[in-house]
Structure 1
């Protein structure tokens, strides 16, 4: 952790000048159970060459003006506001929540707002429930579009975008340019899809990525919200990015060029976030810096 603001800013600025590659964001939710100030997180992000921060809505709501000034001067920007909307609430309540998130995102200087598409698996949705969700999302998109913002539906189990096919269908039904995808690589694997093929299939609507993994294929449930958000929840199976079941070496090698204009968040929920985020960030940058093999 650096205590020198100038050195942090220089680290971030230097990183931007080294060449085009996918940008990396630190997730503030990694520190949901740690006593850390936003000031410390911004300085840590800059010192460890993170270009961006993926700010959890719970944290964003409590930021002071001084925090935002520090952020603006750090060389680190907010790539995405990650929060939730209540699709089981009346439409009027949902739209008021959307307007509140829109104002919060404007305050942070980001146009991306990540949400979950309900809390029911796609195969469990009745046609009436899906139609209601489409209508609600259309309203959300209209609100955010007026502010030139985007809603990012995260590929996530037990939501309407838990498979590639259901994601494509929902975006087609909503049919609004403000509706995009947060591509969670692990959850794509959990759905049974190949992440490289899935990325290429959804690429036109992918706006952001989440990177994480598990040690074994029977440990996906460690990322269930009830477990992740509980301070006493299990962390078994949460492993470094390149030690798990997702072949990130292949993912970055095959998609390096496609990822240049994207930002990906390192979504670490385990212990010792400083050490893990710094190390995994360095390893991702190393992979992205490898020359693309070309055969003639």
Structure 2
């Protein structure tokens, strides 16, 4: 099992990329999920630092597991979609700079129930186009299971995979959001596993507090963090999830997606808890 930290967890912290690399190495993370905002800032403001960062990561045995970005998949006009293609090419350049083979995006901005058949047709066609462009660089297009998108539940995620039919299209399975959709997690894990390239792990104290993860709140420095809790303390049973991941025949890659306060302290404790649940008390990087 490869455990990664998300740089988005430090969006309101004054921490350099090298500090995050030091922290990841010290606490035993296998890699980093790099927020595209951070990746673009490094590439734009400190172009040489990107190459140095890659060399530094190699020395430490750390990798960039995935670039997490955004595109306007369902942009209505050809002109708007041309901007989407430009953004996709920028994300591909960042993935190549940081030597990762995965880019995570969302499947549009409409829920599966609200989407018209024309939205599905447009979304699947464009996903196929994006996946084809990325595949020419050996990069996977990874769709996150997330509310308000065409992949907001198990059935809709499976439909996207079936309709797009591209070997370089994969799933980032976010356990909390599938639980939010009402899907039985063991069944979702089993049925999506053949196409799942990555997992997101976060938890909530109760179903009634799920609004804490809405974008307008999460990205606001003044937003509430009430209800965000460690994996062991929330409504989603992560002991059961980790048992499935630990018993997986492959080498699962997961990210701890923490949007709450004090990310250094939280992530240190969380990776230690995962090791204890999975029977790894060595205090070393979780390697395959």
Query: What's the TM-score, normalizing by structure 1?
Result: 0.88
Distance 1:75 1:255, change over 3 A: closer
- How many residue pairs get matched? 269
Given that 1:196 and 1:255 are in contact with CA atoms closer than 8 Å, whether structure 2 keeps it comes out as no
Verify: 1:34 aligned to 2:24, yes or no.
no
- Where does 1:1-296 land on structure 2 (aligned, <5 Å)? 22-63=1-42, 64=49, 65-89=51-75, 90-258=80-248, 260-289=250-279
Given that 1:91 and 1:136 are in contact with CA atoms closer than 8 Å, whether structure 2 keeps it comes out as no
Q: CA deviation at 1:31?
A: 0.2
Given that 2:74 and 2:119 are in contact with CA atoms closer than 8 Å, whether structure 1 keeps it comes out as no
SS at match of 2:207: coil
> Separation in 2 of the partners of 1:134 and 1:250?
33
SS at match of 2:66: strand
Q: Deviations over 1:11-52 (max 9, x none)?
A: xxxxxxxxxxx1100100000001100000000001000011
| RMSD over equivalenced CA pairs, Å | 1.2
> Separation in 1 of the partners of 2:59 and 2:211?
39
> Separation in 2 of the partners of 1:53 and 1:112?
12
Query: What is the aligned partner in structure 1 of residue 46 from structure 2?
Result: none
> Separation in 1 of the partners of 2:232 and 2:81?
42
SS at match of 2:264: helix
**Runs of 5+ unmatched residues, structure 1:** 1-21, 291-296
SS at match of 2:229: coil
SS at match of 2:226: coil
Q: Which has the bigger relative contact order, CA under 8 A and spacing at least 6?
A: 2
Query: What's the TM-score, normalizing by structure 2?
Result: 0.90
Given that 2:131 and 2:166 are in contact with CA atoms closer than 8 Å, whether structure 1 keeps it comes out as yes
